[in-house]
Structure 1
Amino acid sequence: MTSPRSLRAIALAFLTAIALATVLTCAGVYLALVGAIDRQVDKRLQGQAAELLADNPDQPLLMHRIAQETRRRDSGDIGFLLIDARGRHLAGNIAPAHGFPQGLSTIDRSAGIHGLTRGRALVHALPNGLTLALAAESEPIDHHDSHRMLILASGFGTILLLVALGTLALGLAIRRNIGAVRHAAEAIVDGDLRARVPVERAGSAFGRQAEAFNHMLDRIEALMTSLSQISNDIAHDLRTPLARLHGQLARLAAEPGADALRPQVEEAMAQSEEILAMFAAILRITEVEGGDRRAMFRRLDLAEIAAGAAEAIEALADEKGQKLRLGPWDSAPIEGDARLLTQLVVNLIENAVNHTPPGSTLAVSVTRESDGAVLTVADDGPGIAPAEHALALRRFGRLEHSRNRPGHGLGLPLVQAIAALHRGALELVDNRPGLRVRVRLPLAP
């Protein structure tokens, strides 16, 4: 049996258990009340029978005692009957429609006793074939049983209603606090590390939980800020001396006497340019992950952005002898930054061009689906094994077969950061052969 996993399922299971327990308790109380009344009536019938049969009276004396008892005020609600072996009525004030079993039993309207709706009967077999029967009502008021059930149902129903209202109130409180935690977590995922859970009452259980959660977020924010600051400081501090080194190499290459070392100098300049590009990419990723660029978002069509970027870079594929197939371009309105999205498309196409051999076919398209706009860049090259997808999305993640190619392993991480900034997701899929990269972005309302 699976346990309930949602708050609604837990509340429903709790209410069902409480309702079942309440119904069973109500039934138990009802049966206990009826049993208690029956026992009191039985005790009275047994006492009355003991008085009639005291000293083993003969038939005339027993008939005389029955006549006296029927006239007594305190026994006026008890029915008496004395019959002989042939079933003839000898004494008593009742004439039931049928006989009663020996001993104690429950009787109802079917007994045909006037005014009796439910009661108890006591039957004694006497010598000489005589039978003494006594009957008494256990419900002196008409429809008393239904009234008793109504009272019990009202009482336990009120308890059940209060429990349901309490459960509803508790469920709303839990849902509200869970919602506050979820909203804070979603804001942090979107890049707002300053989001916190509101603390309504500091001393309550929910308040202490919110404070603990906020302390954890404070610690995470401090660590992330420190890590981001270290990355920025390293990139900024190293970019300046690298730029100076690149300038010195350029001046050295321009010297008239540097012809003998020109190939080495130019190689050093190319490496310094690659390092500068790597630091620029690190800073770019840090900037994008900060989330501040959302303030510049506007409504635009992803298909127009992707088509323009793909057409601009089509010449790069032609130079390498690759075929770039464009479209279809489904209109897909989104909220975003045009420059960042253009960079996203260019990075994906450049990655496909750089990591596929001449003669490969590349395809770029934008489709509109029920859950968002999907940008797809696919190729029929060597692809990436599914086990290496996580490595390809990691910063500086270089696959073994691409280590000797240009690049620094920051292209796909930058694409992933831009997609996350737009509340989207990046997905790598095996194209069989090749690789299909899908970027899913939410449609604008």
Structure 2
Amino acid sequence: MPRRRLRSLGRIAIAFALALSATTALAGLGVYLALLDAIDHQVDLRLQGEARELLEGGAGVPEIVRRIARERTERESADIGFLLRDPQGRVIAGNITPAHSLPIGVSTVTGDAAIPGLSRGRAWVKRLPGGDTLALVAESEPIDQHDHKRGRILAIGFGAVMTLLLIGTFALIRAIRVNIAAIGGTAEAIIDGDLRARVPVEQPGSVFGGLAVTFNRMLDRIGELMAGMRSISNDIAHDLRTPLARLHGRLAALADAPEAAPVREELGEAVAESEEILAIFAAILRITEIEGGERRAGFERLDLAALAAEVGEGLELLVTENGRTFAAPAPAAAVPVDGDPRLLTQLIVNLIENAVTHTPPGTTIRLNVRRDGDTALLCVADDGPGIPLAERERALRRFGRLDASRHTRGHGLGLPLALAIARLHHGTLALEDAGPGLRVALRLALAG
């Protein structure tokens, strides 16, 4: 099973915080154990030094007893416990009586040894040549509950370090999030048509500032390229429209001439084709203008339901004259949106004309507008042949004519123009299954 990847800054922060906490805890435990071992080692060295003084020169039991008595009164060794036993375990000399026997060698002594004043210490025990046993015990915690206090001090210290590291981590995560949000906001503005949007640069010399500068330079270059392409397409369209318009006028005049009677039908078809070419150039220029985003300056508050009812009333005759049935129920309530009324009118006209063009006679075309949650929903549906799911994306592309409509008059720019208008209004345009037929759904945000 593949491992789950960290896909968000929040998860990265949590994972890093957990790893940091575990590392800090292990480091704290390591320091605590190392400190405890260092203290025990120092106590062991002290006990071994005291033992050498007691046994110096191969002293016998009487001399060891005398030396123990002397050491018990010395300031430097007054806190050490001494115990000398005979081979039968009877006490010969000393100032401690442990509750249990101490093992030979060096070991840790705890409170269960019942040595007064000792909570934790170290013991040094050696069996002497005559069978006697000499034991020395020293406190490794001169202060009561020193081990707990030492652990608390370490916990506080490492806790403070961990807190600072966590604060720094989350501050870094927040800085990354803020800068990503700035880049994302700029990208969204550009998607919405504001090609002048740029990422704010607060500190050009910083890592994020340098990234923002590079990102803005990229946007400048993309803007230059798009402006150049738009200028070329506009220039071509404008330059070609003039001779095409003259050609259309001459063909129309020629078709009306009496001497053109034998070829009047062919001239009429040529006039229609020239009109179609002019319509294509007009549509291209219109889409380019809309995608530029400048038309947002003409936005106003309007009732989408009332606008659709007015457009539908004007197009009803067109639909019925072409052998289709038109159904446009009266809106039950106002559906306020912010938009350009002329562009939205053109969108509705395009959708209805598209339905008339690509459905057979007898088809019913429906226009409906209503509120759907916090959005305005405008639908143009028909019960015609529809568009297969695999071809709907192509239908929304420029000149994306489907195989079924190759022999139908048109240029494949009606739906792309409607899509450009929807995007200009921060809305969506979707092709859906009407069961049977096609439903084109426009969603716009309701005006506040």
Does TM, normalized by the shorter one, top 0.5? yes
Matching residue of 1:137? 139
Residue ranges of structure 1 left out of the alignment (5+ in a row): none
Please, which of 96, 106, 109 is the counterpart of residue 108 of structure 2? 106
Matching residue of 2:350? 347
Corresponding pairs, count: 445
Please, which of 176, 182, 189 is the counterpart of residue 187 of structure 1? 189
Q: For 1:408, give the aligned amino acid.
A: H
Q: Would you say the 8 A contact 1:328–1:366 is kept in 2?
A: no
2:49 is equivalent to residue 47 of structure 1: yes
Could you tell me how far 1:413 is from its partner in structure 2?
0.6
The whole-number CA distance in structure 2 between the counterparts of 1:403 and 1:423 is 31
Q: For 1:46, give the aligned amino acid.
A: Q
Please, which of 304, 307, 311 is the counterpart of residue 306 of structure 2? 304
Q: 1:383 to 1:15 in 2, by over 3 A?
A: same
Q: Would you say the 8 A contact 2:309–2:330 is kept in 1?
A: no
Q: 1:289 to 1:83 in 2, by over 3 A?
A: same
Matched-pair identity in %: 60
SS of corresponding position for 1:334? strand
Q: 1:207 to 1:378 in 2, by over 3 A?
A: same
2:396 is equivalent to residue 393 of structure 1: yes
2:211 is equivalent to residue 209 of structure 1: yes
Matching residue of 2:382? 379
Superposed, which structure 2 residues align to 1:48-197 within 5 Å?
Answer: 48-54=50-56, 56-126=58-128, 130-197=132-199
Please, which of 227, 251, 254 is the counterpart of residue 252 of structure 1? 254
* CA RMSD, 1 decimal: 2.2
SS of corresponding position for 2:262? coil
Q: For 2:215, give the aligned amino acid.
A: F
Matching residue of 1:436? 439
Could you tell me how far 1:140 is from its partner in structure 2?
0.9
The whole-number CA distance in structure 2 between the counterparts of 1:62 and 1:230 is 111
Q: Would you say the 8 A contact 1:119–1:136 is kept in 2?
A: yes
Q: 1:366 to 1:104 in 2, by over 3 A?
A: farther
Q: For 1:121, give the aligned amino acid.
A: A
- Give CA deviations for 1:270-303 in whole Å, capped at 9, x if unaligned: 1111111111111111111111111121222333
Q: Would you say the 8 A contact 1:328–1:367 is kept in 2?
A: no
Q: 1:376 to 1:22 in 2, by over 3 A?
A: same
Please, which of 408, 426, 440 is the counterpart of residue 405 of structure 1? 408
Could you tell me how far 1:74 is from its partner in structure 2?
1.5
- Give CA deviations for 1:332-367 in whole Å, capped at 9, x if unaligned: 332211111121112112111211112223333234
Matching residue of 2:242? 240
Please, which of 197, 218, 227 is the counterpart of residue 229 of structure 2? 227
Matching residue of 2:339? 336
The whole-number CA distance in structure 2 between the counterparts of 1:438 and 1:91 is 103
2:423 is equivalent to residue 420 of structure 1: yes
Q: 1:174 to 1:257 in 2, by over 3 A?
A: same
Q: For 1:411, give the aligned amino acid.
A: G
Could you tell me how far 1:128 is from its partner in structure 2?
5.8
Please, which of 365, 369, 372 is the counterpart of residue 366 of structure 1? 369
The whole-number CA distance in structure 2 between the counterparts of 1:164 and 1:293 is 49
The whole-number CA distance in structure 1 between the counterparts of 2:299 and 2:10 is 37
Could you tell me how far 1:387 is from its partner in structure 2?
2.3
The whole-number CA distance in structure 1 between the counterparts of 2:58 and 2:446 is 100
Q: For 1:40, give the aligned amino acid.
A: Q
SS of corresponding position for 2:201? coil
Q: 1:137 to 1:396 in 2, by over 3 A?
A: same
The whole-number CA distance in structure 1 between the counterparts of 2:100 and 2:446 is 83
SS of corresponding position for 1:366? strand
The whole-number CA distance in structure 2 between the counterparts of 1:407 and 1:276 is 12
Bigger CA drift: 372-381 or 292-301? 372-381
Could you tell me how far 1:18 is from its partner in structure 2?
1.8
> What TM-score comes out, normalization by structure 1 length?
0.93
Could you tell me how far 1:439 is from its partner in structure 2?
1.9
SS of corresponding position for 1:106? strand
Could you tell me how far 1:240 is from its partner in structure 2?
1.5
Could you tell me how far 1:55 is from its partner in structure 2?
5.0
Bigger CA drift: 364-373 or 395-404? 364-373
The whole-number CA distance in structure 2 between the counterparts of 1:196 and 1:175 is 17
SS of corresponding position for 2:76? helix
Q: Would you say the 8 A contact 1:428–1:435 is kept in 2?
A: yes
The whole-number CA distance in structure 1 between the counterparts of 2:335 and 2:181 is 31
Q: 1:366 to 1:124 in 2, by over 3 A?
A: farther
Q: For 1:414, give the aligned amino acid.
A: L
Q: Would you say the 8 A contact 1:123–1:133 is kept in 2?
A: yes
The whole-number CA distance in structure 1 between the counterparts of 2:328 and 2:96 is 104
Q: Would you say the 8 A contact 2:280–2:411 is kept in 1?
A: yes
